[in-house]
Amino acid sequence: MSKTETKILFAVITFSVILRIAAAYFFGDTRVDMEWGMLVHNLEVTGVLGLNTVVDNFTALPMYAEPDATVLPSVFMPPLYAYYILFLKLVSNNFVSLINVLIFSQIILSVISILIFFKILIKFCKFKVSLFFLLAFSLFPLYVYSSVQASSITLQIFLLIIFFYNIVEYLESKKNKNLITFSIAAGFLILIRGEFFIFFIISLFYFFVFYKINLKSFFISIIISIILISPYLKRNYDNFQSLVLTKSFGFNLLKGNNSDFKVEGSYDFILKNYNQSTLKIKADNNYEIKLDDFYKKKALQIIKEQPFTYLELYFKKVLSFLFLDINSSYLNYYHPLHVMPKILISIVSFFGAIINLKKKGFFQFLSIFYFSNIFLFSIFFILPRYSLILLPVQLLLSIKVIEYLRRKIFNKFL
């Protein structure tokens, strides 16, 4: 890059940092609470990473535990973000507020993500076009907002961009360092979103088939990722006698498929009809597994009673994921700063995904990754942050739309 281009890039990064600091001041979380705060608290107090505290032999409820309480090991949520928060708490050693340290770290992660994303962009388009998409990424309102919340999404985007960047680098250079980094990123992504294991396997098979990646590299990548997640798998095997990473399929299926018919799911439906305090499931180590199996059974019963109704709901969720949820109850969901950028990038990237499906290569892989996420998550329910994780993918897919339009316009006037 020239000196001028370097200065422009530096200005973008600086403005991105200032914007996030301002967002932290006005909109940032003031404490680590909800599930993440509970997990970290219970781990510190009792030494068990768990949400549910035993009330009696047949009752366990999510709560902040006392030191002498019995906390059941949790398999409901992937563990990485909880361990990340705990690590920051140990580093800060109570000298600085944990939430301030967490938000500061997430601002740093988002800045690094912006820089790595630029390195991806510059491989496929010229500086001015790369700068345009970089601005769209770094200033995207929901991304700015999420970086100052106690949410795993910033860490997830950071890992996903590393994942994509090292795919691109490995395809170009075949260097082992990129294969290793790609595999490590995949392992961490599995620990932050259990279903990423599916997308990891899809990724490996795509590049193995179409790019003729040798079998040795294929298995090395899988082995590295398995080694990374193996301590948590061992922890779960010791506690549940099963090699399971997470166990929330039933809960998520029931939350997203019930008589409330909400795209974003309905936890109120579960609380009203199947509250944990009334189910009388034996409160032992397998409590969460038995609870999730119960939710799965109820969800399947509900779907089987009205299969076409829930098939219609599924496609409604697909459309909501692709574009917009027209019945969202989330606060400020319809704020222009959220809706306008979302609709624009959703429409452009959708056409980009269609265009890129036609030709073998990295962008075809992005299209497959894009549609795989949408079709999988729509089985359950769609939250605003789910679309945010696809933001880097959407922007990359949009490159081809810009190129297509420029080519068509140029040919017309020529």
DSSP string, 179-231: HHHHHHHHHHHHHH-TTHHHHHHHHHHHHHHHS---HHHHHHHHHHHHHHHHH
Overall size of the chain counted in residues: 414
Residues 131, 196, 380: CA angle, nearest 5 degrees: 105
The answer to whether residue 281 sits within a structural domain is yes
β 59-62/52-56 pair status = antiparallel
pLDDT at 179: 93
Long-range pairs for 6-9: beta carbons < 8 A, 24 or more residues apart: 8/131, 9/118, 9/131, 9/134
Q: Are residues 310 and 412 in the same domain?
A: yes
pLDDT at 26: 94
The answer to whether residue 379 sits within a structural domain is yes
pLDDT at 413: 54
Distance CA 223, CA 235 (A): 18
pTM for this predicted structure? 0.94
pLDDT at 216: 86
pLDDT at 400: 85
Token pair of 105 as six digits:
């770290």
In 10 A of CB 2, how many CB atoms? 8
pLDDT at 213: 77
Q: Are residues 209 and 222 in the same domain?
A: yes
pLDDT at 411: 59
Residues 103, 161, 218: CA angle, nearest 5 degrees: 135
Mark residue 149 as left, alpha or beta (left: phi above 0; alpha: psi -120 to 50; beta: remaining): beta
CA 141 to chain centroid: 17
The answer to whether residue 104 sits within a structural domain is no
pLDDT at 203: 92
Domain carrying residue 224: 155-242
pLDDT at 96: 85
Token pair of 287 as six digits:
């409590």
The answer to whether residue 350 sits within a structural domain is yes
Q: Are residues 324 and 395 in the same domain?
A: yes
Low-confidence ranges of the chain (pLDDT < 50): 414
Please tell me the total count of domains within the chain: 3
Contact assessment for residue 57 and residue 282, using Cβ atoms and an 8 Å cutoff: yes
Q: Are residues 355 and 408 in the same domain?
A: yes
Q: Are residues 365 and 389 in the same domain?
A: yes
pLDDT at 174: 84
Among 199, 214, 242, identify where a domain stops.
242
pLDDT at 403: 82
Among 305, 323, 349, identify where a domain stops.
305
Distance CA 216, CA 282 (A): 46
The three-class DSSP label of residue 56 is strand
- For 333-344, write each residue's pLDDT tens digit: 899 989 999 999
The answer to whether residue 11 sits within a structural domain is no
Q: Are residues 311 and 412 in the same domain?
A: yes
The answer to whether residue 140 sits within a structural domain is no
Among 257, 272, 305, identify where a domain stops.
305
- Residue 53 pairs in a beta bridge with 61, 71
pLDDT at 412: 57
